[in-house]
């Protein structure tokens, strides 16, 4: 688990696009991260449903946070998503979203993360698979 949770949340979720859409950290431990996205009308498709691009961005942010959730990641590390797959299962009608990301496999530089997106009433909205390349930086 990251040593400084406030710094982790700021870096992973509350800069740039993450800040723009409003992602927030709910829980983190080694290999697992839960990210909240409060609903706002600007995230919709123009009707009452959350835009699919927003859902995929939430999956990417949560998957990235899970990949970075280990305490042994060194200062100076950097990385990027190298593959993102999203299956949309149900529309998210004017509701907050909860993304739970769990590391399925952590290798030397590649981490594969499963992400489930639920509504607050536990409806499964989408499933994602994030493949992330992390270079651990200098010792």
pLDDT at 58 over 80: yes
Specify which residues 103 forms β-bridges with: 113
Please give the C-alpha separations between residue 42 and each of 22, 24, 61, 108, 116, in angstroms, as whole numbers: 11, 17, 18, 39, 22
Higher local confidence (pLDDT), 97 or 74: 97
In Å, the largest CA–CA distance within the chain is: 50
Q: Please provide the average confidence, as pLDDT, over all residues in the chain.
A: 88
Helix-then-strand count for the chain, H and E:
3, 6
d(CA 110, CA 135): 9
Q: Which helix (H) or strand (E) holds 124?
A: strand 124-135
pLDDT of residue 138: 44
pLDDT tens figures, 5-40: 666 565 665 567 778 889 988 999 999 999 999 999
Q: How many CB atoms lie within 10 A of CB 127?
A: 15
CA distance 34 to 93: 20
What's the whole-model pTM score? 0.89
Lowest mean pLDDT among 3-7, 65-69, 71-75, 112-116: 3-7
Q: Number of C-alpha atoms within 13 angstroms, CB side, residue 66? A: 32
Tens digit of each residue's pLDDT (9 = 90 or more) over 98-130: 999 999 999 989 999 999 999 999 999 999 999
CATH of domain 5-135: 3.10.129.10
């Amino acid at each position: 688990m990251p040593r400084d949770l406030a710094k982790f949340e700021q870096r992973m979720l509350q800069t740039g696009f993450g800040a723009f859409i409003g992602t927030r950290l709910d829980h983190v431990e080694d290999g697992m991260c839960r990210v909240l996205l409060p609903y706002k009308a600007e995230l919709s498709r123009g009707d009452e449903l959350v835009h699919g691009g927003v859902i995929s961005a939430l999956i990417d942010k949560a998957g990235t946070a899970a990949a970075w959730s280990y305490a042994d990641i060194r200062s100076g590390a950097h990385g990027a998503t190298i593959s993102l797959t999203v299956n949309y299962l149900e529309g998210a009608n004017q509701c907050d979203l909860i993304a739970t990301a769990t590391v399925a496999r952590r290798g030397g530089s590649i981490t594969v993360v499963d992400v489930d997106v639920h509504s607050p009433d536990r409806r499964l909205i989408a499933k994602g698979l994030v493949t992330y390349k992390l270079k651990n930086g200098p010792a």
